[in-house]
Amino acid sequence: MSESSDFTPWLAREDNLEILGETLGIDLELEAQEKSVGPFRADILCKDIGTGSWVLVENQLERTDHSHLGQLLTYASGLEAVTIVWIAARFTEEHRSTLDWLNKITDESFRFFGLEVELWRIGDSPAAPKFNIVSKPNDWSRSVAQAARAIDESELSDTRLKQRSYWDAFHQALDKAAGPVSGARKPQPQSWMGYSIGRTGFNLGAVMIRPKRQIRAELYIAGDLAKSFFHLLQEQKQAIEQELGYELDWEELPTRRDCRISVYMTKVDPEDERDWPRQHEWLAAKVNDLHRAFLNRVRELDADEWQKERQAGGATGQEATEI
């Protein structure tokens, strides 16, 4: 198997990038493969949907080597990438230590991840990647916001300018709707906007997902108690959905710390300005609906009430095997 002609295109597939994004805690959007950066070609170049920042992925089928490390540093300087992801079959101790050191000495503009990849197959299903993090940025979860602020100070791309225009128009729709969620806030050049619901760790969100042609309204639950709060709210699922008059997506996000409860509009193009009024009217209605349905419920949550029960594990008849 060749890295450039086989492994890189396979890894760049939407389903595999989604697994990679879940491992990193980042929603990834593919921008390019084999992107020229100076004398080298980067394997995969993505955008972080949440912040609009660059994510560069370099992969190896073998163990890590000095050549790839040098390329990563060249890419970082040439693209001013915020997140550098080095994927290999096996990391040597010296290269893992080097990534740890880079995370220690660089500022908030750069993040370095080291991941070992395994290929797993369940039964006769196609092989899927399994990523194991061997090196990650110090205090990664808390530093994401700092990195986003650093990016906001840089020159805006056409995409990010359009994102800011999208939210500016959306805030006008929120004001017109005259609901509990106000549009009186600064639009940001990113793919999402957050709104308070009166409790730390909880936010209402409006999100555009360009690669999947979707927009989303959500209640986002963050923090160490997110899973407990999610399950407490899920116990009220029937009453909440009956009150709203429509079903929600209850997304526990098992590979992440956080959770969300959401509703989607599909088959839409967030870049089509002619369709913005329809999208914004829908988003405004849903964000206000979620505020009304969850405001008091969120305030009354007590994590101590949730006692997680062990789920009976049964044999599936198929075991995951490493390839």
Q: What is the pLDDT of residues 284-313, one digit of tens each?
A: 999 999 999 999 999 999 988 875 543 434
| pLDDT of 172 above 60 | yes
Which pLDDT belongs to residue 260? 94
| pLDDT of 123 above 70 | no
Please report where in the chains the tokens 């309204």 appear, as a residue: 217
- Dihedral angle at the C-alpha atoms of 40, 46, 51, 53, nearest 10 degrees? 10
Average pLDDT over residues 203-224: 91
Phi/psi of residue 195, each to 5°?
A: -140, 140
User: Exposed/middle/buried for 25, CB within 10 Å: 0-12, 13-18, 19+?
Assistant: middle
Which pLDDT belongs to residue 317? 46
Which pLDDT belongs to residue 125? 63
Given pLDDT bands bounded at 50, 70 and 90, which one contains residue 321?
Answer: very low
End-to-end CA distance of the chain: 14
What angle, 0 to 180 degrees and rounded to 10, lies between the N-to-C axes of helices 276-299 and 237-244? Answer: 140
CA pair distance 151, 31, nearest whole angstrom: 18
Given pLDDT bands bounded at 50, 70 and 90, which one contains residue 248?
Answer: very high
- Of residues 201 and 314, which shows the higher confidence score? 201
Average pLDDT over residues 106-115: 82
pLDDT, the chain, mean: 82
CA pair distance 313, 297, nearest whole angstrom: 32
Rounded to two decimals, the pTM is: 0.54
Please give the structure tokens belonging to residue 286: 């849903």
Give per-residue pLDDT as tens, 177-211.
Answer: 999 998 888 888 888 898 989 888 899 999 999 88
- Of residues 78 and 65, which shows the higher confidence score? 65
Which pLDDT belongs to residue 76? 74
Which pLDDT belongs to residue 85? 92
Say how many residues make up the chain. Answer: 323
DSSP for 164-197?
A: HHHHHHHHHHHHHHTSSS---S---SSSEEEEE-
Please give the structure tokens belonging to residue 62: 């073998």
Residue 231, classed as helix, strand or coil, is helix
Which pLDDT belongs to residue 198? 84
Most confident of the following: 1-10, 79-88, 141-150: 79-88
- What are residue 111's DSSP bridge partners? 83
Residue ranges of the alpha helices (H) in the chain? 8-11, 14-24, 66-79, 93-105, 140-152, 158-177, 226-234, 237-244, 276-299
Please report where in the chains the tokens 């963050």 appear, as a residue: 222
Which pLDDT belongs to residue 5? 57
